[in-house]
Structure 1
Amino acid sequence: MADRPAADVDVSVDLVRALLRDQHPDLADLPLRVVASGWDNVVLRLGDRLAVRVPRRPEAVPLVLHEQRWLPELARRLDVATPVPVRVGVPSDLLGRPWSVVPWFPGVLASGVPPERRGPVVAPLARFLAALHLPAPAGAPANPVRGVPLRTRDTAVRERLATGLVPRADEVTPLWAAAVAAPPWARPASWVHGDLHPANLLVTAQHDLAAVLDFGDLTAGDPATDLATAWLTFTGPARAELRALLDATGRYDDATWVRARGWALCMATALLVTSDDDAHLAAIGAHALHGALDDPA
């Protein structure tokens, strides 16, 4: 196995405080601490109501720009909280890349709640997806690994399966092949969140949906990418409920759900072979893999 992609910059409290003093001095004296470091960004809590998101590697720079450009527009039609930037950081001598100050939302990540207790998330997440999955404009961000036809991910998935690090790889192979062979999305390109797993869903103490996080992979394309959350996030009964609610919109056919299960396998295999240093993400990958193999939704 391997670790997450390496960072090329040390995003520390000292660096971020210097950035704030340089560009947003009215925020610079608020309490500041690192709370998360993902594949792409380091997140620091800023005071009681704000957070700072800073790209930890160059590949994350366009993702920050996508959030800054598009999330304010999309958020107006979504009925769940999203991290719309409240301040923008621009490249400077201190850090030659953009960064954002966003709201801090109270709650816990859904990935910290046992999968069988995530049922209250289903209905609000279905509403979120129905509101998001509308045709995207021509200028929407392009993403080479999300929202694209599954055949473009075939080589990467088969390489992961060949590592010997993916459980039940012999069962995954035919299921993946069937997903790749499914009819593609034939409607106008839809807005796609692109990374809708339980570590990007914030929930309340009652396990209701509090916010949808991390829109860096936002793109236009096949909404089946987002429907993979049926396996990434839920167990069988909640998975079936999510499908029923979304099918009632009339937007998704059986082929879309076949591709969605393929996307779940694509994301699960990626998490399983690149999360030596993050048991949290590895657990999401294992949950999605076994769910996709055992339950077609």
Structure 2
Amino acid sequence: MHDGEFAIDAGLVADLVAEQFPAWGALPVVEVSGGTSNAMFRLGDDLVVRLPRTRRTSGDVVAEQRWLPQLIPLLPTPTPRIVAAGEPAAGYPLRWTVQTWIEGTAPHPDRLADPIGLAHDLANFVRAFRRIDLPDAPTAHRGGPLADQDNGDRRAIAQHGGEIADVWGAGLAGPDPDPTWVHGDLMPGNLLVGPDGRLRAVLDFAAVGLGDPACDLIVAWNLLPAPARDVFRDALDVDDATWARGRARALAIALIALPYYRHTHPSFAANAEHTIRASTE
């Protein structure tokens, strides 16, 4: 998916585990659907190994190892616990982690068993994140003001007019927000739901930190249908300016992701298309 991506396969993971954590050396290693930043391999029945795909995302491991143990007790939704921290070895040059495995499936916006219940679950998670008060908080990955977004965002928006430009303009119109703790990456691939459609776990805490509370509203457009979107907004009591920024952020992420992942991660690109449609309705 990325320039400079490391070759990571089950054999490499088995070698890393056997060398550094021999108690797990006999467990089977099976590749599972991974994210855009990390390759994931199930280790036995209860563990999962996560390895950064590139040096560019290698800091994610450090961030999660620092903050996840502090965040887990403060959140209402399960998230994988880090049970071991791996070091570079066997030709793989980065740090990596072993985490607990949580059963579930990534939700799809067209196949939600209980979208209203899921909206309430997501609002409960976001509300808890906003109440966090931990010292020395980092800056969230996407947490800065919209006007300060990088050139990639601005170029993606500038290529379009009409409704897309209107959504971006509405997001820029409000005042700068007071920062709160945010997860920062509530994409469908970072969520797990159970057979009942309710939220079972939230994954990937590499983007956490202080930032615009609108960052955690992107899930309203990348996942929730319109009626559940309204439930989500009402449950969080979101004002018009924050809602407009969330919509603009969801749109900007999708506009950049669509061409980047169109041929390398079809499901991610498909969700970007969905988000563009939902945020410009």
Q: Flag whether TM exceeds 0.5 (same fold).
A: yes
Q: 1:30-45 residue pairs with structure 2 within 5 A?
A: 30-45=27-42
CA shift in 2, pair 1:108/1:233, >3 Å: same
User: Which is further off, 231-240 or 8-17?
Assistant: 8-17
> Which deviations, in whole Å up to 9, do the C-alpha atoms of 1:149-174 show, x marking residues without a partner?
111226322322455xxxx7432012
Q: Describe the shift of the 1:210–1:14 C-alpha distance in structure 2 as closer, same or farther (beyond 3 A).
A: same
Decide which moves more: 40-49 or 216-225: 216-225
Instruction: Please give the residue correspondences for 1:1-297 in structure 2 after superposition, counting only pairs within 5 Å.
Output: 4-92=1-89, 94-111=91-108, 114=111, 118-134=115-131, 136-143=133-140, 145-153=141-149, 155-161=151-157, 169-186=161-178, 189-247=179-237, 252-276=238-262, 277-294=264-281
Say whether the 8 Å CA contact 1:67–1:84 is kept in structure 2. no
Distance change >3 Å, CA 97–CA 154, structure 1 → 2: closer
CA change 1:116–1:105 in 2 (3 A) is closer
SS of the counterpart of 2:271?
helix
Secondary structure at the residue paired with 1:37? Answer: coil
Q: Which amino acid aligns with 2:216?
A: D
Letter aligned with residue 219 of structure 2: T
Secondary structure in 2 aligned to 1:111?
coil
- Alignment check: 8 A CA contact 2:186 2:216 kept: yes
Q: Structure 2 CA distance, aligned partners of 1:76 and 1:266?
A: 32
Secondary structure of the 1:147 match is: coil
Counterparts in 2 of 1:117 and 1:7: CA distance versus 1, 3 Å: farther
Residues in 2 aligned to 1:106 and 1:132: alpha-carbon distance in whole angstroms: 23
- 2:251 maps to a residue whose letter is L
Equivalenced residue count is 280
How much does 1:193 deviate? Answer: 0.9
Aligned-residue offset at 1:111: 2.6
The 8 Å contact of residues 125 and 209 in structure 1, kept in 2 or not, is answered as yes
Give the unaligned 5+ runs of structure 1.
Answer: none
Deviation at 1:112, TM superposition (A): 7.3
The CA deviation string for residues 180-217 of structure 1, in whole angstroms up to 9 with x for no partner, is: 2221113xx31111110111110001111110011111
1:215-234 deviation line (CA, Å, top 9, x unaligned): 11122111101111111110
Find the aligned partners of 1:287 and 1:174 in 2 and give their Cα distance: 18
Secondary structure (helix, strand or coil) at the match of 1:224 reads: helix
Give 1:121's aligned amino acid.
L
Amino acid at match of 2:15: A
Q: Structure 1's 7 and 116: CA in aligned 2 closer, same or farther, altered over 3 A?
A: farther
Other structure's SS at 1:10 match: coil
Equivalent residues of 1:83, 1:102 under 8 A apart: yes
CA contact (8 A) 1:160 1:273 kept: no
Higher relative contact order (CA 8 A, sep 6+): 1
How much does 1:282 deviate? 1.3
* Superposed displacement of residue 124, structure 1: 1.4
- Counterpart-to-counterpart distance in 2, 1:227 and 1:290: 16
- The range that moved more, 235-244 or 193-202, is 193-202
**Kept after mapping to 2: 8 A contact 1:153/1:266:** no
1:278 maps to a residue whose letter is: H
SS at match of 2:152: helix
Once structures 1 and 2 are overlaid, which stretch shifts more, 61-70 or 282-291? 282-291
- Measured at CA, do residues 226 and 10 of structure 1 come closer, stay the same or move farther in structure 2, by a change above 3 Å? same
One-letter amino acid of the counterpart of residue 181, structure 2: W
* Alpha-carbon distance in 2 for matches of 1:152, 1:137: 25
CA RMSD of aligned residues (A): 2.0
